[in-house]
Structure 1
């Protein structure tokens, strides 16, 4: 297993250390300055660093850790949030205020940048339709991101503008995927906006009391038992 090490700089470098079942460190500490953000996709584990990505792969001799620097064709910046793809093995991260970073460990072009029309408010992956992810920008639009093509496929206007100026914790829209619906919160209007995942058209609103902010989609499947 691997775990972040965030001890003081004068004690140990900020990075990742691999430990065995007994908690004993295996190998060296893998440097990851400004470590912020981690995710899993399939059997891969990734950590976001100021200098690039730490990619952890499971192997016969235990996990291997590889540092992959950001390519020189990207502007200066770093990822601080990572999401892991479901169904397809990839990672999606933020990069600057108006970009997403697609990370595909199976290709030579490991990093691909997706430009957004304005600053990013929130983004999420689709656990049901692996090819797609979604980003909400401060102009009030929800964007469908085609992971394979590496670009925005469709957009739909849902809210009035939400500025990213101000405190990071101010109420702003958040995205959740629930079955065939994409749900976006609109705290200033006390609403949830519903978008059909297939047509990518708005299908309705749900009025709520207060200011809906964070949202989580929870589901389950049951069993049908034969009765005599």
Structure 2
């Protein structure tokens, strides 16, 4: 039987929910890499379901339309949030592993996919894949089997030769793509095909130093970030996409599974301190091109601040407080929507700073400086709802 763990209602946490129609916030402008993981696929239509926001020692579940706090739960001091992909559950990354947060009940369940140094969560097709950095173990399960379950679903595992900060994905034909590395360095990726009760290597590439993150574009073209470009897997083979700069690091891929175009974060100075970035890279998975693009002056962001959304466009929440709409086909900023007050980059990547997640046409934006969360209609730029919490929001995820 599934029972709550550390369930502590905190209905006092909501101070105000404001519905805003036809209003744009007038804000002024202000004016770099992240060690995190953010890969998103765009959705279509209106927002649905619920979202969760983490803060120090807790997590809150919010209604997707009103942003009203539905319930809150105690957690460890710092946790990460990711979607399991089943439209209901979120992964709360703790020291024990990936704990299941049911946003519909809601309930922070006692179901935990145990993992040593739990890391990336990737869902694609009908599979969800978890990676444990401390052991190099990949855990695979049917995404739909988790929704409403009283116990953990059956899993398949594969363990890398050496533990490292990695990521894995399973394609629709069962091919497992997974990174290769050690605790000190990461070098590339391999493709494994199902064979009996295990896997057999079908392809490999070791030309991706510092490999990090992944994203799946149209026709299951998968992109991994490298310190000197990107690694593309398509039609059963790997291809290195070389950056034009000697050090041209892409660490996170922002994708739509209906577009061949990938947007990645981009950094050219390995000695640059801080986490703010002022360029992106544009990857065309059909043409195998890798093109860095400098953003307009004053438009800086971190790994938490890029998402794909309506019309497969990219939406960048910048330090000037606006969401900047970027066309991946041209690299041009086509619009901007003021949402939050100008902000500065974090001292550490774990520190609270503005973040964006997209569900359909709605972007959810955190504003830690004011303890607020906002909902923004990306088709109009209107802020449709806002909530002020008693706690400072950090990470955010949509179920």
Query: What TM-score, normalized by structure 2, do the two folds share?
Result: 0.48
Q: 1:88 aligns with which of 259, 264, 282?
A: 259
Matched, 1:102 2:282: yes
Matched, 1:30 2:206: yes
1:177 is paired with a residue of what secondary structure? strand
Counterpart in the other structure of 1:55: 232
Counterpart in the other structure of 2:148: none
* Counterparts in 2 of 1:180 and 1:28: CA distance versus 1, 3 Å: closer
Separation (CA, whole Å) in 1 of partners of 2:359 and 2:203 = 42
Counterpart in the other structure of 1:170: 351
- Tell me if structure 2 keeps the 8 A contact 1:131–1:148: no
**Cα shift readout 1:180-223 (whole Å, capped 9, x = no counterpart):** 322211122111122222112333422223112222223xxxxx
Separation (CA, whole Å) in 1 of partners of 2:394 and 2:262 = 25
- Tell me if structure 1 keeps the 8 A contact 2:346–2:352: no
- Tell me if structure 2 keeps the 8 A contact 1:19–1:26: yes
* Counterparts in 2 of 1:212 and 1:32: CA distance versus 1, 3 Å: same
Counterpart in the other structure of 1:143: 324
Separation (CA, whole Å) in 1 of partners of 2:253 and 2:360 = 22
* Counterparts in 2 of 1:119 and 1:28: CA distance versus 1, 3 Å: closer
* Counterparts in 2 of 1:193 and 1:3: CA distance versus 1, 3 Å: same
Matched, 1:194 2:398: no
**Cα shift readout 1:149-176 (whole Å, capped 9, x = no counterpart):** 3211111222222211411111011112
* Counterparts in 2 of 1:125 and 1:114: CA distance versus 1, 3 Å: farther
Counterpart in the other structure of 1:131: 312
* Counterparts in 2 of 1:69 and 1:171: CA distance versus 1, 3 Å: same
Give 1:82 shift. Answer: 1.0
* Counterparts in 2 of 1:8 and 1:29: CA distance versus 1, 3 Å: farther
Give 1:179 shift. Answer: 3.1
- Tell me if structure 1 keeps the 8 A contact 2:251–2:264: yes
Q: Which has the higher relative contact order, 1 or 2, with Cα contacts under 8 A spaced 6 or more apart?
A: 2
Give 1:114 shift. Answer: 4.6
Query: What TM-score, normalized by structure 1, do the two folds share?
Result: 0.80
* Counterparts in 2 of 1:188 and 1:119: CA distance versus 1, 3 Å: same
**Cα shift readout 1:22-73 (whole Å, capped 9, x = no counterpart):** 3222355432111112111121111111122111112xxxx11111111x3x
* Counterparts in 2 of 1:153 and 1:39: CA distance versus 1, 3 Å: same
Separation (CA, whole Å) in 1 of partners of 2:291 and 2:179 = 23
Matched, 1:14 2:190: no
Q: 2:249 aligns with which of 70, 74, 78?
A: 78
Separation (CA, whole Å) in 1 of partners of 2:318 and 2:372 = 17
Q: How many aligned residue pairs are there? A: 208
**Cα shift readout 1:112-156 (whole Å, capped 9, x = no counterpart):** 515143321311111xx2331111112222211122332111112
Question: Over aligned residue pairs, what C-alpha RMSD do you find?
Answer: 2.4
Give 1:106 shift. Answer: 2.5
Counterpart in the other structure of 1:210: 391
